[in-house]
Structure formats: structure tokens, C-alpha cells
Amino acid sequence: MRGAALCVTASSTAAQEGSLRICSFSAQNYVREFLEGPLRASFPNSAFFEAALDLDTAQLAGGYDAACLFVNDLASEPVIKRLAEGGVRFLAMRCAGFDKVDVAAAAEAGIRVARVPTYSPHSVAEHAVAMLLCLNRNLHHAYLRVREGDYSLSGLVGFELRTKVVGIVGTGAIGLAACQIFRGFGSRVLAYDIREDPAAVALGVEYVSKERLLREVDIVSLHCPLLPSTYHIIDAESIATMKPGAIIVNVSRGGLVDTDAACNALESGQLGGLACDVYEHEGSLFFKDWRTCQLKEGFKVWDRKFQLLKTFPNVLISPHSAFLTSEALANIAATTVENLKVLQAFEAGLPTLNELKAM
């Protein structure tokens, strides 16, 4: 009955929706293509800013009731305070991750926060496997060679996935999708999570301890959230227990991997490769084209570790684009709009399905 009441209440406020003023940060063209139509249909008073949210840009939200944020938008306590001073009452995350949001500070400021807990797990899982295949078969090198007229095969040898053991760390929706794909290749799949998923077990996935997983697998694919308990889950100690030449794939959160430890292991050969769609200090670096920036501006985000990481021939990096499919963007837009409707309908204080609460 509660679900039915939720629908009725949200519907009954439809006449009020147009009065809610929405601003969206980190709203590049590919975001607006999918978000602008659905958002303006329910909330005509909507604005879109390409700038990311931080302490300097928070003033742009002045006079708006809600702000839509993306994964690297910074909603720290000082930013939250500035948003509240400008009249913001809602934060609608266009993503699942919220490690840049001070949820406790938001609650204290009277700002409610909602997220999109799942939008297209297959988009991210497929990207993880695509990166692994590219790295393993050296497609990134072969592509550049052929463009330059080099058709030699030296250095392009890879392996068959069906002969390898894959370790999945985190078997939520994305991790489960990754399990399905790797099992389809014929790989043996081990998994580590605080909860076992019967659906994964039904696929033939074996749950083991983290220590055993790291010891036995040839490939580690990370699909867990960034929490205090998972920060640098891949560090020097854990890498040392892995098979020499093992490969790590990270399409989850940059902070899961200790970059210094990874670089050292790549230099020594303990790691055979690293494929990552995220980086632990990506905040002000990703989602921007730095090629056209002045040198002085570029040095503001200069990161020696990242520059070193890019030099390894057995490292493949994508710019936090694992989610970037038309299906995922459409799902994100639809859920974001629904979250805003429900947050407005339940401004009195009742919890909603996708709302974040301070721990």
C-alpha cells in the first residue's frame, strides 16, 4: 500500500512540479541530449551548467531549489553550506556513487539527497571486459601500428580467457553482469563479497575469501563501492600475494587501487597489466579536454602519478566512461526526474526509495 500511496502523492503534486527550479552541474552536451527533454517536461525552470560543482561554482545554484550532480561534483560541507544559503533543498545525483557528497552535512543543512542506484549494470560490466580484451590482445598497440604502416606481430601475443581464472570483487548488479560475461567466455570465476548472491552461484561462480581470490586468479576485476573498508583494497601487500603477471581491471572507483603500489608492481613485472576507467585523484582531471588549455591552467591539475601511469605500455586508461551508453544515459535521466518528483512530494520528511541517509 505504501508504494501505491507514493505514486498517488507524486502524481498529485504534478501541478506544483513546474514551480521547482532545477540546475544541473557537469552537464555536457551528451548529458543534455538525454536529460534536458525529460527534465524540462516536468520542471520547465531548469538550467544546465557545464562547470563541475565546487566551492567556487556553488554560487551558480543560487535561487534554485534543486541541483543535479554527477560523480565528481564536489558536495563537501563548505559547498553544502553555500548551496543551502542559496536556497537549494534537494540534491539529485545522476549516478550511483556518492563518495564526494557529505550526506551528514546535507542532512544538517536540511538538504535531501537521492541517487540513481542502478541504471545499466551491463554498460559498466561490458566496458570492463572490453578493456581487458583490448589490453590482453594488445589492440591499442596494433591499432596505432597499422595506422603508421607497421603490420608486424611482435609483441601482440595474448591469451584465451577460457584458460584463465577471473576474480570478481563485489557481486552487486555490475559484478553479477561481469560474472555472466566471463562465464560465457568459459573462464572459471571466483568471487568475494560480504554477501553471496544465489544468482552468481547458479552461474557456477565460487565465493571465496579475499585472500584466496588474490592468490588464485589471473585477472582481478573490481566492482565494489569505495568505502573506508575498501579504500586501497588493492595495495602493495595484496598485489604481492597475486600471481606474477596478473592483471587488474578497475571500472568502479579509483580509490580502490593504491596507484603507487600499482606503478611499483608494473615496473617490477609483478603486475602484468592494469586496465582502469577510474583514477584515485581524477576529481579535477577527468571530464575535461585539457588539450586546448593554457599551460599554466593545465599545471593546476598536473599529477605526476597519473603521468607515470600513462607511460606503461601494459596500462589502458579510459576517462570514466564505462557507464556511457545510450541505454544508461536514458535510464539515469528517467530515474533522476522521478527522484526529484518524489523528493518534492515527500518534502515533509518521509523516506524515499533512492534517498541517501546519513550513517
216 lies in the same domain as 244 = yes
106 lies in the same domain as 125 = no
283 lies in the same domain as 165 = yes
Q: Tell me what pLDDT residue 353 has.
A: 75
Q: Tell me what pLDDT residue 347 has.
A: 62
218 lies in the same domain as 340 = no
What is the rounded CA–CA span in Å between residue 253 and residue 89? 28
284 lies in the same domain as 165 = yes
Q: Tell me what pLDDT residue 295 has.
A: 58
Contact assessment for residue 132 and residue 221, using Cβ atoms and an 8 Å cutoff: yes
pLDDT in tens, 269-321: 999 999 999 999 987 788 788 887 765 565 566 788 999 999 999 999 999 99
213 lies in the same domain as 263 = yes
> Is 21 designated active site?
no
25 lies in the same domain as 75 = yes
333 lies in the same domain as 242 = no
Q: Tell me what pLDDT residue 313 has.
A: 96
> Is 320 designated active site?
yes
Segments of the chain with pLDDT less than 50: 1-18
CATH number of the CATH domain containing 135? 3.40.50.720
227 lies in the same domain as 338 = no
Q: Tell me what pLDDT residue 286 has.
A: 85
Annotated catalytic residue: which of 282, 297, 338, 347?
282
Annotated catalytic residue: which of 253, 280, 338, 347?
253
Overall domain count for the chain? 2
Domain encompassing residue 196: 121-317
186 lies in the same domain as 313 = yes
> Is 282 designated active site?
yes
Neighbours of 166 (CB within 10 A): 27
84 lies in the same domain as 162 = no
54 lies in the same domain as 142 = no
Contact assessment for residue 117 and residue 354, using Cβ atoms and an 8 Å cutoff: yes
Q: What does pTM read for this prediction?
A: 0.85
pLDDT in tens, 145-185: 999 999 999 999 999 999 999 999 999 999 999 999 999 99
Annotated catalytic residue: which of 82, 89, 188, 320?
320
Q: Pinpoint the alpha helices (H) of the chain.
A: 2-12, 14-17, 29-42, 77-85, 103-108, 121-136, 139-147, 173-184, 198-202, 210-216, 236-241, 259-268, 295-299, 304-311, 326-345
